[in-house]
Structure 1
Amino acid sequence: MKTEKKEVYHFQSEVKQLLHLMIHSLYSNKEIFLRELISNASDAIDKLRFESISLPTLYENDSNMKIQISINKAQKTLIISDNGIGMTRQETIENLGTIAKSGTKSFLESLEKKENQKNELIGQFGVGFYSSFIVSEKVSVRTRFAGAKNNEGTLWESSGEGEYNIKNIIKKTKGTEITLFLKKEEEEFLEIWRIKNIISKYSDHITVPVYIQNYDEKNKTYFWEQINKAQALWTINKSSIKEEEYKDFYKHLTNDQNDPLVWSHNRVEGNQEYISLLFVPEKAAWDIWNRDNKHGLKLYVKRVYIMDNYQEFLPNYLRFIRGLIDSSDLPLNISREILQDNAITENLKKALTKRSLSMLEKLSKDSDEKYQIFWNQFGLILKEGPAEDHENLSKIANLLRFTSIKNNNHKQNMSLKTYISNMDSKQEKIYYITADSYKSAKNSPHLELFNKKNIDVLLLSDRIDEWMMNYLIEFEGKKFQSISKEDSSLNKLTEDKKIKNNELSIEILEFLKKVKTILGDKVKDVRLTNRLTETPCVVLSDSNEMTTQMAKLFSAAGQSVPELKYIFEINPEHTLIKKISLINNENQLNEWIELLLDQALLAEKGNLENPHKFISRMNKLLLT
């Protein structure tokens, strides 16, 4: 194959932004560039091992997988090479010239406004390679895809200034060789001891041996020295693994800068044999709500890497769990489609789900502080669990956290066990209310009786809460009850002051009849109630009707919502009700009744169909 002139390409616009941030920003931890390049090399070797299962010739008579690092102080270069899968010319352009991730541009723009978050860019979007420009004035990549004809390779070069060069070359060996031409102020990375320390810190437990070229002063010869353990951490007996080693391995596995909150290392033998190593991050990924978010476990079969982000082993509500599974039961050449239908996979999913929930339960018992960090980051995701996983419903419910009227703040830190332990012996159900915000829930008129009787109520204001409560029916024998829906247990709370017709004034009884006539089919029913203390009236849903919050969810999703008809409850002890009941002017009474209903609907829904009419009516009555 003839060599050719270099072709000049321009970086994708997002890459230009990325390189600008990296090159012109001060990073407190520049050494991470080497971790990223070693990780990429390790992945390339893992991929070759997997592809070689069905096509052994890809090894090209070189199955001794390794990563090599060499230093040339005279030329101020650091070279990282591997004998992995390598890249074709097109893959080189796609992998090193573009970032094929949705949301990249907006994310980069947000980083420019938040200087302290720039370090978090590393490990996201698959941009680890670009971290080499933090320390380099020029980067050269020589690569050849395993099995390429006539040793056809590709040379990629760039100074990180908006463009890169591509050239066809001859490369005798498969894999990738990256040469970093270091900046003058980064010459510390030309010291062997410095490289050894970085590899020991970040890459000690990758499954590929890493060698550095050293010089024997006595014999005046060069030799290759292995500088990492190259043993998969998950295969080591956990009693022999230090806490720091788990943390370092997590960072290598996930490219996360933070330590994990908790982890679980488990070996199972018997009918199914596998090793799992699961981690709970300290911080949610920026794109965890993105539909394209890649999550799941890294899958190995008999120590052979199969794929990243395999989602079939954990339900979606546990998508924040990171880690890996190494199975001895799955066939090595299994495809993604077969794996999804494999009975072994389903059994593994059940086991790993229970293991993950047990890990969270242990965290909640061991450290309130750490569990609160977890809940603040991932509580909304865990709330998806009751709808997705009925089998583990009680375990999930035990992990949920809430705020309540007795909490007196928005912090969700109360477990259901705590709520039940604080219940009065006569309290039949777990009471809750859903609303658009914490303030709205806390100030709902439905709470008046509960505040008066010192009965705690859970305040639910996350958008998913109403959906969750459709599946969270009971906990430890106590059923959940929305206080904005009609229920016999709510009526029993007022039995000490039960409304009796013979105790009511004629004016109030007549007033009740008039209200029913005036409102007609605008409401489902009109009743008197003693559940209110400060509010003249309130609306609540019938026990069989859709709640207000559920209707809002359907409407937000673009689905049609049936007309809601509420039960209109009136407080006969309220001064305003007593005053209005004495009005004889029919038109004026109509206006007052309509105003009271609008007030109750506004308190319940947070909005009105015709707010202008409501304001006009209120102004009119203020002038009378």
Structure 2
Amino acid sequence: MALTSQVFEFQAQARQLLDLMVHSIYSNKDSFLRELISNASDAVDKLRLEGLRDKDLDADISDLHIRLTPDSEARTLTVSDNGIGMTRDEVIELIGTVAKSGTDELRQKLAEKDPADAGDLIGQFGIGFYSVFMVADRVELVTRKAGETVGTRWESTGDGTYTLDEVADAPQGTAITLSLKPVDEDDAVNDYADQNVLRRLVKKYSDFISWPIRMTVVKSVPGEPGEDGETPEPTVEEADETLNSQKALWAKSSSEVSKEEYAEFYRHISHAWDEPLETITLHAEGTFEYQALLFIPTQAPFDLFMRERSTGIHLYVKRVFIMDDAAELMPEYLRFVQGVVDAADLSLNVSREILQQDRQIRAIRRRLVKKVISSVQELQDRRPEDYQTFWANFGRVFKEGLINDHDNAKAILKASVFASTASETEPTTLVDYISRMKADQDVIYYMTGESRTQIERSPHLEAFRAKGIEVLLLSDPVDEVWVSSGLDFEDKQLVSIAKGVVDLDGDDADVDEEAKTKQQEQFAPLLTWMGETLTDEVTEVRLSSRLTESAACLVGDAFSMTPQLEKLYRASGQPVPHSKRILELNPDNALVTALVGKFDAESDDHADLESTAKLVYASAVLAEGGDLEDPAEVAKLLADALTKNLG
């Protein structure tokens, strides 16, 4: 039974998005054609692959192509392909709604962004189809899935609703017809029903598309002179003109390709609109032959940290498209890389499961990873400003490789930068850190925390500041994980200033060992008593060599979790028991000296000092930006202490 015409409402977010598309984006209306051609190219790729996989598929793959059909009198433009097509349900899912994560963020950015700069958001958020409403008052889409017998017509004016009909005689593929808005007299060069305009735009944006982009053109053919010498009137003939060169950019040397051609190819495969920050070419010969063209983007995509995000590597075999999400070719920490890999002799029947076990795939992956990391290192060395852009957008992701890629961890460390106490604004490489190390320093000091500000206020830094020793300030969540993996750099171990025993005196001749021993004996009874009193909170109480001003601080042992790492695990749903740490006291702090002076080692009753001991512990928790387990109890202890003091 045939379906009747049905009217649907756009998703609420989609209605708002369409309104913004029509009224907010003016900078580059040409982008609609690039998006439609890219979508058509993807559809043809998918049919070609499905035809190779399914020999019984009832679909014509003998002449796959994309066609532009302008009609200047009717003011329409049709972009059609004979690719995979869509079912009715797929039309509703892919065209009728905007269900992608990030839509709210896109709407907010479109609303806030200057109209002159808003066009670059079209591809970034994967809503290229909706760009048609920048140039069209009405859009009709007719499609039939390859292998199906009935097609679907989708129609909308972008006013909040769309209509669906069943089409019995729809051709295989998808045809999108735009009823174009009137030509702006001030912008007549962008008449999208003009064949010359379409030629120019295809050459500029889509020349590299691997399928022919055709347009039927009318040509005037002069007649041949007759025997009487008369030349007849020229005849008018229609002919197909292929508008693009269909050259695979990755198969050409970099000297043959312009920067603009690389940029447009990057935009095509990434569905983005920014410029590539770095272009990487690779031609491998020998046992495994393949070619690769990779790009590091300038801007981070909105879904960079979303689990469902696909990778950006397109896999071809001998110029035949295989898949656009070849996750096995690029590790997760390089998921921002976009590009194409064209292998010479992979099986065309390859599946994702086979890819994971394929020896050639593993070899290609190793080479690509090393090439990308070395390219990041070259940015750091030769183009510092571009490297700063890279690090601001992708540094947090790049550092994930320090956890997941043991083979390349040292190279990743070298290509990374970190905030440090050496500068308030400029991050440092580890190479530069080592060059500034003091003569007797043999480790790289660091501290982790939730923010640079929090770390800088930590009492753990006091002695390091006093002695002019540089400390790395690591505030990204990923830092909490990789620093505990035991990595070293140029044989220098990375050591947390918030763990273990810190001895900054070393062989300092000015240190009075006898005085230190006497001090230790003086404080020993107090330390023992406080350790027993605070046994539920700490494992030990000891004197500190890392404090110069604060009364106390909390430190972990060499292999304990930091409070921040515990929070991360709990936030991810993993139950982690609370780790007790060591309480260190500053023997030169007035509060601590007053406490030891009041403590009577001969007495068995120190109830009057218990609240002070608990407040000293609470102050250490707060000083490092931690959370008190029972703030109400601490508030009461503090109020009692203040009352007693004032009394």
TM-score by length of 2: 0.88
Question: Deviation at 1:62?
Answer: 6.1
Aligned residue number for residue 226 of structure 1: 242
Q: Which aligned pairs between 1:159-308 and structure 2 lie closer than 5 A?
A: 159-171=157-169, 173-185=171-183, 188-217=191-220, 219=234, 220-308=236-324
Structure 1 unpaired stretches of 5+: none
Letter in 2 for 1:575: A
User: What is the match of residue 448 of structure 1?
Assistant: 462
Deviations 1:306-328 (A, max 9, x none): 11122111111111111111112
| SS state at 1:408 partner | strand
Q: 1:508–1:578: 8 Å Cα contact kept in structure 2?
A: no
User: Could you tell me which amino acid in structure 2 is paired with residue 566 of structure 1?
Assistant: R
- 1:478 matched to 2:492: yes
The equivalent residue for 2:231 is none
Q: Which residue of 2 aligns with 1:532?
A: 547
Give the Cα–Cα distance (whole angstroms) in 1 for the partners of residues 576 and 142 of structure 2. 61
User: Quick one: distance in 2 between partners of 1:377 and 1:570?
Assistant: 41
* Deviation, structure 1 residue 454: 0.8
- Whether the 8 Å CA contact 2:77–2:180 is kept in 1: the answer is yes
**Alpha-carbon spacing, 1:563–1:499, altered in 2? closer, same or farther (3 Å):** farther
* Contact 1:499 1:530 (C-alpha < 8 Å) held by counterparts: no
Residue aligning to 1:143: 143
Do 2:24 and 2:111's aligned partners in 1 also have CA atoms closer than 8 Å?
A: no
Q: For 1:325, what is the secondary structure of its paired residue?
A: strand
Partner of 1:74: 73
> Structure 2 CA distance, aligned partners of 1:517 and 1:246?
68
Distance of 1:559 and 1:43 partners within structure 2 = 41
Cα distance in 1 between the residues matched to 2:29 and 2:312: 29
Give the gaps of 5 or more residues in structure 2. 223-233, 601-605
| Bigger Cα displacement from structure 2, 475-484 vs 173-182 | 173-182
Secondary structure at the aligned position of 2:424 is classed as coil
The alpha-carbon distance between structure 1 residues 581 and 168, as it changes in their structure 2 partners (threshold 3 A), is closer
Query: Which range is displaced more, 332-341 or 32-41?
Result: 332-341
Q: Which aligned pairs between 1:583-598 and structure 2 lie closer than 5 A?
A: 583=598, 586-598=606-618
Amino acid aligned to 1:559: Q
Residue 130 (structure 1) aligns with: 130
Query: Residue 121 of structure 2 contacts residue 272 of structure 2 at CA under 8 Å; is this kept in 1?
Result: no
* Equivalent position to 1:357, from 357, 373, 379: 373
Candidates 553, 556, 562, aligned match of 1:541:
556
Q: Provide the C-alpha distance between the structure 1 equivalents of 2:3 and 2:594, rounded to a whole number of angstroms.
A: 96
Match of 2:227 in 1: none
Partner residue of 2:566 out of 551, 555, 559: 551
Q: 1:520 to 1:288 in 2, by over 3 A?
A: closer
Q: Give the number of equivalent residue pairs.
A: 618
Do the aligned partners of 1:60 and 1:146 also contact (CA within 8 Å) in 2? yes
Task: Indicate the residue corresponding to 1:572 in structure 2.
Answer: 587
Residue 280 of structure 1: CA displacement?
A: 0.6
Check if 1:601 corresponds to 2:587. no
Q: 1:494 to 1:171 in 2, by over 3 A?
A: farther
Q: Is the 8 A contact 1:483 1:490 kept in 2?
A: no
Structure 2 letter corresponding to 1:594: K
Name the CA distance, whole Å, in 1 between partners of 2:527 and 2:509. 20
Question: How far is 1:450 from its partner?
Answer: 0.9
* Aligned counterparts of 1:212 and 1:153: Cα–Cα separation in 2: 24
Inter-partner Cα distance in structure 2 for 1:169 and 1:618: 78
- Structure 2 matches for 1:408-419, cutoff 5 A? 408-409=424-425, 413-419=427-433
Distance 1:414 1:305, change over 3 A: same
C-alpha separation in 2, matches of 1:537 and 1:30: 63
Deviation at 1:507, TM superposition (A): 5.9
Distance in 2 (CA, whole Å) between partners of 1:355 and 1:430 is: 28
Please give the residue correspondences for 1:332-481 in structure 2 after superposition, counting only pairs within 5 Å. 332-409=348-425, 413-481=427-495
**Alpha-carbon distance in structure 1 between the residues aligned to 2:274 and 2:468:** 43
Work out the CA distance in 2 between the residues paired with 1:239 and 1:370: 22
Shift of 1:543: 2.2
* Paired residues of 2:78 and 2:177 also in contact (CA < 8 A): yes
- Give the % identical residues: 39
CA shift, 1:351, in A, is 1.8
Return closer, same or farther for 1:522/1:74 CA change in 2, 3 Å cut-off: closer
Equivalent-residue separation in structure 2 for 1:70 and 1:544 (angstroms): 68
Code of the residue aligned with 1:159 in structure 2: it is T
The DSSP-based 3-state class of the residue aligned with 2:27 is coil
- Aligned equivalents of 1:494, 1:543: Cα separation in 2: 24
Of the structure 1 ranges 448-457 and 468-477, higher mean CA displacement relative to structure 2 is found in 468-477
Please say which of residues 111-120 and 588-597 is displaced more in the overlay.
111-120
Deviations 1:442-469 (CA, angstroms, capped at 9, x unpaired) = 1211111111111100011122211111
Query: d(CA) in 2 for partners of 1:100 and 1:210?
Result: 30
Q: Distance in 2 between matches of 1:575 and 1:145?
A: 81
Q: Are the counterparts in 2 of residues 386 and 472 from structure 1 also a CA contact under 8 Å?
A: no
Which residue identity is paired with 2:134?
I
Amino acid at match of 1:399: A
Give the 3-state SS of the residue equivalent to 2:597 in structure 1: coil
Q: Where does residue 336 of structure 2 map in the other structure?
A: 320
Cα drift, residue 143 of structure 1: 2.8
Q: Which moved more, 1:333-342 or 1:509-518?
A: 509-518
| 3-state secondary structure, aligned to 2:493 | strand
Aligned in 2, Cα 1:26/1:435: closer, same or farther, shift over 3 Å?
A: closer
CA positional deviation for 1:572: 1.9
What whole-Å deviation, never above 9, does each CA across 1:560-587 have from its counterpart, x for those lacking one? Answer: 3334332222222223322333226844
Does the CA-based 8 Å contact 2:270-2:312 persist in structure 1? no
Per-residue CA deviation, residues 390-411 of structure 1 (Å, 9 max, x unaligned), is 11111111122111111124x5
Per the alignment, do residues 584 and 17 of structure 1 end up closer, same or farther by CA in structure 2, a change over 3 Å counting? Answer: closer
Q: Measure how far apart 1:113 and its partner are.
A: 4.0
Could you tell me how far 1:503 is from its partner in structure 2?
4.5
Q: Structure 2: how far apart are the matches of 1:590 and 1:422? A: 45
In structure 2, what is the Cα distance between the partners aligned to 1:190 and 1:505? 89
Taking a change above 3 Å as real, the CA distance of residues 195 and 498 of structure 1, as seen in their structure-2 partners, is farther
Secondary structure of residue in 2 paired with 1:141: strand
Q: With structure 1 as the length reference, what TM-score do the two structures score?
A: 0.92
The letter for the 1-side match of 2:430 is: L
In 1, the alpha carbon distance for the partners of 2:343 and 2:621 equals: 57
Cα distance between partner residues in 2 of 1:250 and 1:17: 29
Aligned AA (1:272): F
- Alignment check: 8 A CA contact 2:263 2:275 kept: yes
Call closer, same or farther: CA 1:545–1:612 in 2, change over 3 Å: same
Deviation at 1:349, TM superposition (A): 1.8
Q: How far apart, in 1, do the equivalents of 2:616 and 2:170 lie?
A: 86
- Following TM superposition, by how much is the alpha carbon of 1:19 offset from its aligned partner in structure 2, in angstroms? 2.1
